[in-house]
Structure 1
Amino acid sequence: MALKTPLLDTIATPDLLRALDPSQLRQLADELRGEIIDAASQTGGHFGAGLGVVELTVALHYIFNTPDDRIIWDVSHQAYPHKVLTGRRDRIRSIRQKGGLYGFTKRSESDFDPFGAAHSSTSISAGLGMAVARDMKQADNHVVAVIGDGAISAGMAYEAMNNAGALNSRLLVILNDNAMSIAPAVGALSHYLLRIVEENPLLSLADIRSRVRAADPLPFADAEERAKAHAAGPDHRGTLFEDLGFEYVGPVDGHNIDHLVTVLDRIRDSEATGPVLLHVLTEKGKGHPFKAPNAEKYHAVNKFNLETGEQVKSAPKAPSYTAVFAQGLIEEAEHDPSIVAITAAMPSGTGLDIFGRRFPERTHDVGIAEQHAVTFAAGLATEGMKPIVAIYSTFLQRAYDQVVHDVAIQRLPVRFAMDRAGLVGADGATHAGSFDLAYLCCLPDFVVMAPADEAELKHMLVTSLAIDDRPSAMRYPRGEGCGVALPARGQELPIGKGRIVREGNRIALLSLGTRLHDCLKAADELAHYGLPATVADARFAKPLDHDLIRRLALNHEVLVIVEEGAAGGFGAHVLQHMAREGLLDTGVKVRTMCLPDFFIGHGSPEQQYAEARLTPGDVVTTVLGALGQPQLLREVGAN
């Protein structure tokens, strides 16, 4: 049955929304929720968070004069309804597809997106910066940061609140409390928020009107009043936030649009200065069509049938790298009680949910706290444990100082399992693991590995657990493996030694990681041109296999180095070694292939590899260009 949205059809931009009568907002929210569900059924994507903030999104754009008033969504998984209401409805079914809408807020996409947010816990810092800039310019616009209860658990959020509470800049922080991040929220803060809700009933409309009166200061508007309220004892609410200098309002039902409009209107018009925190309770995935919902699984969904809720899934050809890692870790932990697994709010994404079901006492989800995760692991390592930190490559960037200062300098044997290394398809540049080779290979005494397939991943996991005198890391991609046979148990590899996969003569292809299979395809094509190629799997980005590099350089006319990482990584280290050893003076023509010097937007993996020029055809073109074979290059181009 075709979706009917007669009121939503009239709302192209928020100024038209603000012209509605308040009595129409409930209908608009219901139609907007239906639109999000219908669009997600056709495109998939991050879906649950947006459904939970439909009423809040309508109320925010109704009360605030966007885009002059700034709304920052953190994390902007929540922003699908916002995109629909801000002139992008006609493209919402292109979301996360090449050339379509980005899955998160993006400054270059719309004036209604004042800040790009695809990693969590940045909104309060960014909002405070905008508020201070407004005050410096003597402007009068409002700044609103919408942050989830998972994102507010991260240390950066508290750094920002600590700063905001000491300033006198007007800032509204809305805590979207649905007891979830991607997985259920964990840690003491989640229990604290639950206690606030249990001890304080939802504000009624009368409460809102009496506690938050238009043109009056908010309750506890100065430090003296806050101190008195704190001393008054258990009836006082919002203690933590008020002690940080925020005026606390709530909790409020995030699906009661009349209450939301009223409280936002009162806060907007209040004469109170300084930051305010509005605590809003929502249900992630509200209105979803699934019969047996799994809150973690409908965070992001595939296309699905609107009638049945069944998701469209292709039959897997091989187990995913994530699943192979999890199963391999379980196998090793069965034999070694010192193995401890740590993740930062991504148990299912890293496979540690599987490990955790088998070894709950040895699994730690520390919440959105990558910095803490790394130093926590360092502490475990000092006491003889074998910590393995499973964090996406792009999220490990958030803990780089801890990797350097707390792990590398002390040579502690912390093992890093970096899922989602390389390009990641529809999640785009913010989630691509592009930089880990560059930022880890520069660290002294760090072992860095990249498996060519899922069997190699099992071997590298065992290898990392055997390294007890320094840190190590292994990077592996998102998605399915190559379908190779898996060993019953991984075997320890010799540190810093690669392998020859195919013997040739004039051409040498040195691959790091899963580009190996594209190098083999390129070697097949080169053979058609009478250019048999040697294909080597480096296995280790650090330490380098000096003997293998020398052999490839001295016995081939062209050496092409292939990696799925940014410039400054594996290829750069190989070139530096060759220059130091005089191997560049032998006449071998060396070319490096890596990710380009620009951010690659969202799209299918195939589209991204083509844009990055990392396809088998690109390898062939690179070889022929090095050989100076214009005729063959024209032939390749014609094909």
Structure 2
Amino acid sequence: MNGYAGKTDNRAQESGRRTDIMTYALLKTIDDPAALRRLDRRQLKTLADELRAYVLESVSQTGGHLSSNLGTVELTIALHYVFNTPDDRVVWDVGHQSYPHKILTGRRDRMHSLRQWGGISGFPRRSESEYDTFGTAHSSTSISAALGMALGARTLGEKRVSIAVIGDGAMTAGMAFEAMNNAGVYKDLPLLVVLNDNDMSISPPVGALNSHLARLMSGKFYAATKKGIERVLSVAPPVLEFAKRFEEHAKGMMVPATLFEEFGFNYIGPIDGHDLESLVPTLQNIRQRALEGGGPQFLHVVTKKGQGYKLAEADPILYHGPGKFNPAEGIRPSTKPARKTYTQVFGEWLCDMAAADPKLVAVTPAMREGSGMVEFEKRFPSRYYDVGIAEQHAVTFAGGLACEGLKPVLAIYSTFLQRGYDQLIHDVALQNLPVVFALDRAGLVGADGATHAGAYDIAFLRCIPNMMVMTPADENECRQLLTTAYQQDCPTAVRYPRGAGTGVATGAALTALPVGKGEMRRTGGARAGQRVAFLAFGSMLHPALGAAEALDASVANMRFVKPLDEELVKKLASEHDYLVTVEEGCVMGGAGSAVLEALAAAGIAMPVLQLGLPDRFVDHGDPAFLLSQCGLDAKGIEQSVRERFNLAQPAVATRAA
């Protein structure tokens, strides 16, 4: 079964297909880490097999992150087996690899609700469990948080170890190194950073000899001997300096230790992150050393994404965040004709524009697949820049490219642009540099929830001088507005939602739209005193059109938040009794606020209803359901308008724009 290992009970018949059902005899006895710590160490391998199978079965039924979680099974078991969690704090960087952690900390029976409305989150969440010591979902925050916890415990006079588990990708962010630089000052702090290195193969140093050396370097004898030698040699500083340099050179021949030790950490590893016989004793030595004042420790473990499920091992990217699938068959391509996603529209536009203009360069902060740039990298490798998980650097780097006369396009999720906000203002907008920000995942994002929702970009972008902000309503308009943005000599942003569009065909031409101009999509015919006009921004155009049919209202597709089509706003205000702004973003400071400001500047006072995302973090769930919960589907929009303006009955007659 493609590595779907463990004892099974082949009883089920579903749709004529055999389904292997795991009995999970040992896993079912583990309701918290205390129960795990009561196991004999020889039982841990069996537990790992069952836990890996349970992760695979669970994710195949709900969708979610798979490859990364299959790769952290043994590491998760070892951490909870050795450390006294939750008293010892474990912080999972990003947290998309924390499913085994959730299963072992009392949420096994809730995995069927993973990333669904009312269910458990796909990331650590403090309100969900005392074992989720810090909420995560964006990368590279774990070391800072764990350091804060370690120093907090010291301030309170409490003795515990704080552990940050961070991936090799997250270690590319400056924030991780800022935290390590800070942590290295505290020479006796009980802090452990575990580098989960899952991007490299298990190289020759990761074997029996290196595991032995890791256990040796993490033990008391090594630490005591090292300190003793330093005391003896301290009377002869040149000899001591020579000894230190020799030790660093010897370590550097086997492991990439020098960098981390320069930060003040004791480096141990790399060791096989799937070998419990190496992990457990090494972590036991580290914990004891940390509690005895050994200072910050750095353990380098090498794991494999998709471990134990051969299909995921072979293609960890495909199995990074799959939907529902049959583990026995693997992910099968859909036979249904799929509508283009906005990400695909962007990817196609990027390649077409690059072919038309040799000055186009594309930048991504480690989101090549997610942002639709795979084909661009293949076709234009010399004009493709992946800067790693470093959004601040990505923004300023793009500004530097623009200074040299190039036309940088920075593809970035809306929620991740938040991390480069100072750079956006200071390094790009202040200098009026022509950088195109292609903002994917604008609005709600479904199962990933509040941490990944692009709810704030309209509000935080439109207040910046020199910025231009565009909101396409469909796939073809997205292509057109990307072209429009590219032609400007100022910073621009085009925000588009996650997932498929409405099915509108995209043209082949690179056609721009008039800057700062919206369009009328429907003209209502309601009687005087009930004339309603919708000012729809981006993805909300189609729900607004649906509501307008019931209300016989007018609908404007605004397209631009900045510059706003003020003439169209004033025209609609003069011809209607009520205005309704609709956007898939926060109401406060959003596009609706821009309309109110325009009306106030023109001296126009009239009733305006602002509809958008509420002033709360919207949880994970089905995207359509979430929109309905926020009142942003056609029915919800109609109901809000009727209640706000006391419109009892829908009008009947309509006429096309």
With over 3 angstroms needed to count, the CA separation of the structure-2 counterparts of 1:421 and 1:407, relative to structure 1, is same
Cα distance per residue 1:545-570 (max 9 Å; x no partner): 01100011010011100001012111
Contact 2:306 2:312 in 1 (8 A): no
Does residue 210 (structure 1) correspond to residue 216 (structure 2)? The answer is: yes
Contact 1:558 1:623 in 2 (8 A): no
State the partner residue of 2:249: 234
With over 3 angstroms needed to count, the CA separation of the structure-2 counterparts of 1:389 and 1:524, relative to structure 1, is same
Unaligned runs of 5+ in 1: 181-193, 527-531, 634-639
State the partner residue of 1:243: 262
Task: Tell me how far apart the structure 2 counterparts of residues 19 and 231 of structure 1 sit (CA, whole Å).
Answer: 43
Normalization by structure 1: what TM-score? 0.92
Does residue 608 (structure 1) correspond to residue 633 (structure 2)? The answer is: no
State the partner residue of 2:10: none
Cα distance per residue 1:403-453 (max 9 Å; x no partner): 000001111111100000000000000000000001000001210001000
Normalization by structure 2: what TM-score? 0.89
Secondary structure of 2:568's match?
helix
Task: Tell me how far apart the structure 1 counterparts of residues 449 and 221 of structure 2 sit (CA, whole Å).
Answer: 44
Task: Tell me how far apart the structure 1 counterparts of residues 176 and 604 of structure 2 sit (CA, whole Å).
Answer: 50
State the partner residue of 2:70: 51
Cα distance per residue 1:522-573 (max 9 Å; x no partner): 11122xxxxx211101100001101100011010011100001012111111
- Counterpart residue type for residue 389 of structure 2: I
With over 3 angstroms needed to count, the CA separation of the structure-2 counterparts of 1:219 and 1:385, relative to structure 1, is farther
Task: Tell me how far apart the structure 2 counterparts of residues 418 and 350 of structure 1 sit (CA, whole Å).
Answer: 9
How far off its partner does 1:317 sit? 3.7
Cα distance per residue 1:198-227 (max 9 Å; x no partner): 667665554344332248737866898798
Q: 1:377 aligns with which of 398, 404, 407?
A: 398
Q: 1:571 aligns with which of 592, 597, 608?
A: 592
Secondary structure of 2:282's match?
helix
Task: Tell me how far apart the structure 1 counterparts of residues 607 and 22 of structure 2 sit (CA, whole Å).
Answer: 61
Contact 1:393 1:418 in 2 (8 A): yes
1:421-500 maps to which residues of 2 (within 5 A)?
A: 421-468=442-489, 470-500=490-520
State the partner residue of 1:321: 342
1:22-101 maps to which residues of 2 (within 5 A)?
A: 22-101=41-120
How far off its partner does 1:503 sit? 1.4
Does residue 551 (structure 1) correspond to residue 571 (structure 2)? The answer is: yes
Task: Tell me how far apart the structure 2 counterparts of residues 359 and 202 of structure 1 sit (CA, whole Å).
Answer: 43
Task: Tell me how far apart the structure 2 counterparts of residues 378 and 483 of structure 1 sit (CA, whole Å).
Answer: 35
What is the number of equivalent residue pairs in this alignment? 610
Does residue 624 (structure 1) correspond to residue 642 (structure 2)? The answer is: yes
Secondary structure of 2:370's match?
helix
Contact 1:328 1:489 in 2 (8 A): no
Contact 1:341 1:388 in 2 (8 A): yes
Q: 2:183 aligns with which of 164, 168, 177?
A: 164
State the partner residue of 1:186: none
Secondary structure of 1:606's match?
helix
Secondary structure of 2:609's match?
strand
Contact 2:305 2:313 in 1 (8 A): no
How far off its partner does 1:628 sit? 1.8
State the partner residue of 1:129: 148
Cα distance per residue 1:84-130 (max 9 Å; x no partner): 00000000121001111100000000000000110000000000000
How far off its partner does 1:599 sit? 0.4
Secondary structure of 1:25's match?
helix
How far off its partner does 1:623 sit? 2.2
Q: 2:543 aligns with which of 511, 514, 518?
A: 518
How far off its partner does 1:396 sit? 0.5
Contact 1:303 1:312 in 2 (8 A): no
- Counterpart residue type for residue 210 of structure 1: L
How far off its partner does 1:622 sit? 2.5
Task: Tell me how far apart the structure 2 counterparts of residues 209 and 74 of structure 1 sit (CA, whole Å).
Answer: 25
The ranges of structure 1 where at least 4 consecutive aligned residues each deviate by more than 6 angstroms after the TM superposition are 221-227
Contact 1:325 1:458 in 2 (8 A): yes
State the partner residue of 2:327: 306
Moved more, 406-415 or 223-232: 223-232
Contact 1:203 1:250 in 2 (8 A): no
- Counterpart residue type for residue 525 of structure 1: A
Cα distance per residue 1:374-415 (max 9 Å; x no partner): 101000111110000000000010000000000011111111
Secondary structure of 1:384's match?
coil
How far off its partner does 1:66 sit? 0.7
Contact 2:210 2:269 in 1 (8 A): no
Q: 2:174 aligns with which of 145, 148, 155?
A: 155
Unaligned runs of 5+ in 2: 1-19, 235-239, 526-530, 652-657
Root-mean-square deviation (Å): 2.1
Task: Tell me how far apart the structure 1 counterparts of residues 49 and 220 of structure 2 sit (CA, whole Å).
Answer: 28
Cα distance per residue 1:251-308 (max 9 Å; x no partner): 1110100110000001111234321000001001101252883221211111111212
Task: Tell me how far apart the structure 2 counterparts of residues 302 and 202 of structure 1 sit (CA, whole Å).
Answer: 38
Secondary structure of 1:12's match?
coil
Task: Tell me how far apart the structure 2 counterparts of residues 175 and 226 of structure 1 sit (CA, whole Å).
Answer: 29
Contact 2:210 2:270 in 1 (8 A): no
State the partner residue of 1:288: 309
Q: 2:360 aligns with which of 336, 339, 343?
A: 339
Task: Tell me how far apart the structure 1 counterparts of residues 435 and 374 of structure 2 sit (CA, whole Å).
Answer: 20
Does residue 591 (structure 1) correspond to residue 606 (structure 2)? The answer is: no
With over 3 angstroms needed to count, the CA separation of the structure-2 counterparts of 1:462 and 1:218, relative to structure 1, is farther
- Counterpart residue type for residue 234 of structure 1: H
- Counterpart residue type for residue 534 of structure 1: S
Task: Tell me how far apart the structure 1 counterparts of residues 366 and 353 of structure 2 sit (CA, whole Å).
Answer: 23
Task: Tell me how far apart the structure 1 counterparts of residues 644 and 69 of structure 2 sit (CA, whole Å).
Answer: 50
Task: Tell me how far apart the structure 2 counterparts of residues 211 and 248 of structure 1 sit (CA, whole Å).
Answer: 8
Task: Tell me how far apart the structure 2 counterparts of residues 123 and 296 of structure 1 sit (CA, whole Å).
Answer: 23
How far off its partner does 1:49 sit? 0.8
State the partner residue of 2:423: 402
- Counterpart residue type for residue 258 of structure 2: T
Task: Tell me how far apart the structure 1 counterparts of residues 510 and 524 of structure 2 sit (CA, whole Å).
Answer: 29
Contact 1:460 1:490 in 2 (8 A): no
Secondary structure of 1:407's match?
helix
With over 3 angstroms needed to count, the CA separation of the structure-2 counterparts of 1:556 and 1:596, relative to structure 1, is same
Contact 2:474 2:504 in 1 (8 A): yes
